[in-house]
A = this chain, B = another copy of it.
Amino acid sequence: MCPHPIRQVIESCDSAISAKDFDSLMQHYAEDAALVVKPGMVVKGKNNIRKAFIAIADYFQGELVVEQGEMQVIEGAGNALVIMETLLHFLDEQGDSVETTRRATYVFRQEPDGRWLCTIDNSYGTSLLDSDA
């Protein structure tokens, strides 16, 4: 079975983040897209998302490695909802190696030329509700 074309888009984004190639990264976002930086903090628009990714890269000092696990894509009415297991490897403040798994939710929109652009990037998935408690 062929993987969904969005899987390739997400892999390109991960490579761009690792390479700090934010120009390539931003090609996959819609102009007025939203990024959940952390629970309670959402930035909107490509310029702000770009700045947030630079800040995240600085915070992790280039030690953040992202690996994608299981993925499901549900397409409807020109949108796609992606449910994805994401493994993060990084060093904590003590310099110890940390591995954590998130279940991310991403929304994409298909353009007239067939490309998929990310409209909402929420790597926290439904765990956003935890912070409401």
Copies of this chain, whole number: 2
Q: Is the CB of A83 within 8 A of B129?
A: yes
Distance in angstroms from A125 CB to nearest chain B CB is 5
Distance in angstroms from A132 CB to nearest chain B CB is 5
A33 interface residue, CB < 8 Å from B? yes
For A132, the chain B residues whose CB sits under 8 A away are 70, 72
Interface-located stretch among A13-21, A58-66, A74-82 = A74-82
Partner of A34, one of B30, B74, B85, B109: B74
Interface residues of A in 81-129 (CB under 8 A from B): 81, 83-85, 103, 105, 107, 109, 117, 119-122, 125-126, 128-129
Given contacts A81-B105, A105-B105, A120-B81, contact A34 B75 (CB under 8 A): yes
Q: Which residues of A pack against B, CB within 8 Å?
A: 30-36, 42, 44, 70, 72, 74-81, 83-85, 103, 105, 107, 109, 117, 119-122, 125-126, 128-129, 132
